[in-house]
Structure 1
Amino acid sequence: MTGSLAGLHILVTGGGSGIARAAAERYDRDGAKVTVLNRSAAGADSVHQTSGGRIQVIVGDATDPDVLRSAIDAASDEHGGLHHFTSGVGVFDNYSRVSELSVDELMAAADEVWRVNVRASLLAANLAAPALRSAGGSLTLTLSESAFNAIGGGVLYGTSKWALRGMVDHLAAELAPDIRVNGVAPGGTGGTRFGGLTSLGQTTTADKVSGRDERIAAGTLLGTTAMPQDHSGAYRFLADPVDARVVTGVVIRTDGGRRL
């Protein structure tokens, strides 16, 4: 298979479902050698099978340093270089209201949100930096419309995405000129399986909320509800070392023109 990303080695965390999976599959279609690290074995197997076996999958937790280190090694080329890393893991707070949680619930939920939504990306930058630097590679973080406005989630989720927005700027400065760092901020998206906070006993996913797709469409200038694949072009662009050669510290908002 050939394409604009032909031969590039790319690692995607959380790539067994949703937006991260769409990004991984887009990289694969454009010729990259893609590795997906996913906590769910079922999700990992699904993306592997759908790709015809081209996408290498590893089952494990992207917040675990040992697991992530092994995934980076597996995804890198024979010289130890990694051309691109997409951080796609995330957890949703199901619009939990901080003022209505007990102190114990708040502490547990905040720790979980920070560990998955923020610390995993910090860990990615820390552990992948040598391999990315070796290849002159790039890192893309997954934000949300919640990183710009008080929409799309509760305070816990929203503030974690605001933290990632700042992380893009600061990592871009720290890792320049060797590694480009950018982000994609999707708006509300249908067809996803975005898990809730286990610390609060949440098991529903964001796309199961009644009327959610209609509300998303009504709140955008384009009047549409995005699907995971609608965001994949932004990820592909940022991963491309030619098309995005001078792009760093940028967040692409794929939110359909969110009405403010």
Structure 2
Amino acid sequence: MAAGQGRLAGLSVLVTGGGSGLGRAVVDRFVAEGATATVLERSPEKLDNLREAHGDRVRGVRGDVTSGEDNTAAVEAAVSAFGGLDAFVGNAGLWDFGRAALDMSMAELENGYEELFGVNVKGYLLGARAAAQALAERRGSMIFTLSNAALYPRGGGVLYTASKHAGVGLVAQLAYELAPRVRVNAVAPGGMATDLRGPRAMALGDTSISDMLPTGDRLRRYSALDLAPSAEDYVAPYVLLASREESATVTGAVLDVSAVGTPRRPDPAP
């Protein structure tokens, strides 16, 4: 698809954690739909891969979402490179690998909370604060990556589930505070095999969800639609919410696209 064509033609977007997994899939799809993308990412190797794939359609900013300074630098890079900002996608996150509260020591619980909430909640809030003015100037939108854990138990452990429920509150309050010039919404996907890591404070920094999540037929058992979804299967709702034409009336919404909240009908007897 040519750069000037597509559902997001001419839009400038900023994606945090856009170097791999769902974030990378969002960047790839947004660029394919005609957008330009700025990516805030900690890994220089992942930023190099993005530049190799998309050339001057993407700008990379190396930084940490828990830093207000780094979030501000990413917004400034987007405005400088592409003339403004139309959508902010808060996506960088950590998973707790389903750790129950009573399975953690007090120190693991305390330190894991600080690190995981720092990325999953503070990172979203700082990114929103940094992007708000630039988005208001273009009547843009914010889109946050939540999870089925924002709506149901068992999408993670106590820390992850609590952080994603906090994300629902962020969406509701920011939609109220930033109306009418900025729309604020979220996408709640289900499990997928990606490079999503855990907190280093819980000795999970080098473990990815791909190492633990069941794959293929086993993963299908968690889906009411008999699917083992990939990151690419979840990106269309982000395009919908970024498009002014397709979601002009939508704010304060959390789109549950996980297909895990609906009980699956048992397979018919042979």
Specify the TM-score bucket, using the shorter chain as the normaliser: over 0.9
- The within-5 A match list for 1:58-137 is 58-76=61-79, 81-137=84-140
Task: Please give the alpha-carbon distance, in whole angstroms, between the structure 1 residues aligned to 2:215 and 2:99.
Answer: 16
TM superposition shift of 1:213: 4.6
| One of 193, 199, 222 as aligned partner of 1:219 | 222
Task: Please give the alpha-carbon distance, in whole angstroms, between the structure 2 residues aligned to 1:231 and 1:249.
Answer: 19
1:25 match:
28
- The within-5 A match list for 1:1-260 is 1=3, 2-76=5-79, 81-190=84-193, 192-202=194-204, 203-209=206-212, 211-260=214-263
Task: Please give the alpha-carbon distance, in whole angstroms, between the structure 2 residues aligned to 1:210 and 1:254.
Answer: 18
Q: Which has the larger radius of gyration?
A: 2
TM superposition shift of 1:31: 0.7
1:8 is matched by which residue type in structure 2?
Answer: L
Taking structure 1 as reference, are residues 216 and 134 closer, same or farther at Cα in structure 2, changes over 3 Å only? same
Q: Which runs of 5+ in 2 are unaligned?
A: 264-270
Q: Matched residue pairs, number? A: 259
CA contact (8 A) 2:6 2:32 kept: yes
SS at the partner of 2:251? coil
SS at the partner of 2:126? helix
CA contact (8 A) 1:9 1:77 kept: no
Task: Please give the alpha-carbon distance, in whole angstroms, between the structure 1 residues aligned to 2:21 and 2:244.
Answer: 24
Taking structure 1 as reference, are residues 228 and 95 closer, same or farther at Cα in structure 2, changes over 3 Å only? same
Taking structure 1 as reference, are residues 216 and 151 closer, same or farther at Cα in structure 2, changes over 3 Å only? farther
Query: Could you state the TM-score of these two structures normalised by the residue count of structure 1?
Result: 0.94
1:251 is matched by which residue type in structure 2?
Answer: V
Q: Which runs of 5+ in 1 are unaligned?
A: none
1:193 is matched by which residue type in structure 2?
Answer: D
CA contact (8 A) 1:61 1:67 kept: yes
CA contact (8 A) 2:187 2:257 kept: yes
Task: Please give the alpha-carbon distance, in whole angstroms, between the structure 2 residues aligned to 1:72 and 1:88.
Answer: 15
Query: Could you state the TM-score of these two structures normalised by the residue count of structure 2?
Result: 0.91
1:155 is matched by which residue type in structure 2?
Answer: V
Per-residue Cα deviation, 1:174-197 (whole angstroms, up to 9, x for no partner): 11001000000000112x101111
Identity of aligned residues (%): 37
SS at the partner of 2:167? helix
CA contact (8 A) 2:36 2:82 kept: no
Taking structure 1 as reference, are residues 18 and 123 closer, same or farther at Cα in structure 2, changes over 3 Å only? same
Alignment RMSD? 1.6
